[in-house]
Amino acid sequence: METAKYGIFHLVVRSGVQYFSVSKGWAALEQGVAILFALTWTAAIIATQHLFDAATAAVSGGLEFWDIARPVIVLGAIVVAQQLLSSANYYLFTFVSYGNSGKFMAEFQRKLGRLPAANFEDPDFLDEVEMAQECLEYEALGSFTATCIQLVTYYLVFFVSVGIFLFRLSPLLPLVIIAAFVPALFALFAEARIFLELEEENAPLRRRFKSYQDAIAAREFFKETRLLGGFQYFHRLFSQTLALITQNTWRTERKAFLFQLALNLISFIGLGVSIWLLFNATMQGNISVGAFAAVFAGLTQIFRLMSEVILGRLSEASEVVGQIENYYRLMDLPEVGGNQAKRTDHASQTNQAPDFSQGVVAENVSFAYPGRDKAAVNNVSLTIKDGETIAIVGENGAGKSTLVRLLIGLYPPDSGTVAIGGLDTKETHPDVLYQNTSGVFQRYQRYKMTLAENVGISNTAQPANAAKVNVALKEAKFNEPKADLDTMLSPEFNGIDLSGGQWQRLAIARGLYRTNQFIVLDEPTAAIDPIEESRIFRQFEQLAEGKSAIVVTHRLGSAKLADRIVVMDNGEIVDIGTHDELLNRKGKYQEMWHAQSRWYENRT
């Protein structure tokens, strides 16, 4: 997936703007406190100098009590202010950071909801989503942003104010301190690169690691894993992947440690040279004893903060800069667009809707999934008339489900056009296209919510209507004595579970609950027996009466219910007709029909 490249300056400025924009003034207050806190350190060094100078003069005599007491009181007041500002700064930093991390995650989830659905078929895109989620879940973005902002407020103010004071004492002193840390700045660029490479290497491994972890312990997997003896197999894959992640991380951390060791040595030498310069200036009478004592006491704090900035804060930032860059690349990906693209809370608030009297028309449509050369659908043309039911049949991999996704506007075609109710799917926003469209898919969801919420989630424009939910459940033949509308459908949350058949009926009720003029049934019965499937399709035939409808199925007996049957093979439509028409001429449908008939005859 082609994505933009960003420089470090862009990332710093952008993350800072985002940090302030979502904090609603709290970040500005935090940084104001940080600036005052930084100034107290310089004020403390100056006050310490005055105290030692006063103490030295007192030894010679001639000073009054208040001449000594005044610098003591001033220094004490500064120390008290430091403690108060330190506590306030820590509280505000924690408050803003935790608050912003949640807001960053919310913004990211909204962004994912606005990206083209086809992106989620691209493994490279999924790796980048994994890296971005890792960045947000471990608060790398918030930490990086806070570090960058504090460099400009707290640390910069401290070093500039202290640097001016030191320069007045000895021009060489601040230069030596800076020189002691210059190599560290260059090393950070190399460190950032090796951690970026680590993130790119570990992202796909983490996705595999989580999938193996689910296979071992997730509720929907563990019974089959244990029963079929797959635990040891998945545990071995889990352990191997974890070892690879650990090995890659350890290799990178070892390189970073060697950098840190060399830089700490250079910083130690710089501290020694600074003390020697300070001692020499005092012996030559260039600075007072009080200045020597104050600066000597402050040098430890100065070097501690310099190490904290370069070897701590900047080093940590360099480790996550690759994650930050990846996060903003994802945030800048083009979103689904088109007419009526002004976003609203509910799709029903948009001004335009498909006119299904014009049907659904696909002309010369082709589509290939991201990262794949072969087209899943190739040069397909099809018209679904108003009130017509179309069945799409074919073997696995024939392109049936992909064609359905194109016909409902979930994917825009790579070439050709699809018009839903007169609206071109390339030029119309999905919020508009999906109005009055409903569907039940093979991989329907089992939401860990109440029964009413499981049904009502298909139309969130309004609160769930209990009467309407009950009608949908009744039409879907859902019957579970233990469940009322408020029953939680998850044992994990002190609720109940449903049988596979009941979940299937619930998924159908969910599709029926949504107001629709165009309805899709995409192999939701693939896992049930033919008798139950036949019952569901007869029910679907009644529910689809007067509506445009698509049925996708492997079992041709159910396809007979459709007005027309579309036969697909290798991404193309190879035949169209009624059941009798297709059965009476040689072709793919006749071949599939006889194959399935023999299978049922052999079973009986």
User: What residue spans define the domains of the chain?
Assistant: 9-331, 348-436+518-603, 443-515
Per the prediction, the chain carries an average pLDDT of 80
Which CATH number among 3.40.50.720, 3.40.50.300, 3.40.47.10, 3.40.640.10 corresponds to the domain 348-436+518-603?
3.40.50.300
The end-to-end CA distance of the chain, in Å, is 51
Would you tell me the crossing angle of helices 123-137 and 172-217 to the nearest 10 degrees?
A: 120
Per the model's pLDDT, the better-predicted residue between 470 and 316 turns out to be 470
- Give the per-residue pLDDT at 5: 64
Residues whose CB falls within 8 Å of the CB of residue 468, separated by 6 or more in sequence, listed in order: 513
**Residue 327 banded pLDDT, cuts 50, 70, 90:** confident
Q: 212-226, 342-356, 383-397, 568-582: which range is least confident on average?
A: 342-356
pLDDT at 312: 65
Tokens describing residue 595: 């194959």
Identify the residue with better confidence: 528 or 25: 25
Give the integer Cα–Cα distance in Å for 547 and 6: 50
- Give the torsion sign (CA, 329, 331, 336, 339): negative
Q: Decide whether 9-331 matches 348-436+518-603 in CATH topology.
A: no
Q: Give me the mean pLDDT over the 321-344 stretch.
A: 72
Q: Characterise 568 by phi-psi region: left (phi > 0), alpha (psi -120 to 50), beta (else).
A: beta
Q: Please give the pLDDT value at position 345.
A: 37
Average pLDDT over residues 29-54: 86
Question: What one-letter code names the amino acid at 315?
Answer: S
* Packed helices 26-60 and 140-150: angle between N→C axes, nearest 10 degrees: 40
Answer for the pair 371, 118: CB distance below 8 angstroms, yes or no: no
Token pair of 192 as six digits: 């950032």
Q: What is the DSSP letter of 76?
A: H
Give the Cα separation of 223 and 229 in Å (integer): 10
Residue pair 391/554 in contact (Cβ under 8 Å)? The answer is no
**Cα(96)–Cα(580) distance, integer angstroms:** 69
| DSSP string computed for 579-598 | HHHHHTS-SHHHHHHHHHHH
Q: Tell me the pLDDT tens digit for each residue of 434-463.
A: 888 887 777 778 888 888 888 888 887 777
Amino acid at 182: V
> Do 343 and 174 touch, CB atoms closer than 8 A?
no
Cβ-based neighbour number of residue 360 at 10 Å? 27
CATH of 9-331, one of 3.40.50.720, 1.20.1560.10, 1.20.1440.230, 3.90.660.10: 1.20.1560.10
> Amino acid identity of 277?
L
pTM above the 0.75 mark?
no
**In the beta sheet, which residues pair with residue 424?**
419
State which of 148-157, 236-245, 359-368 shows the largest mean pLDDT. Answer: 359-368
Q: Which DSSP symbol is given to 286?
A: S
CA–CA separation, 364 and 101 (whole Å): 46
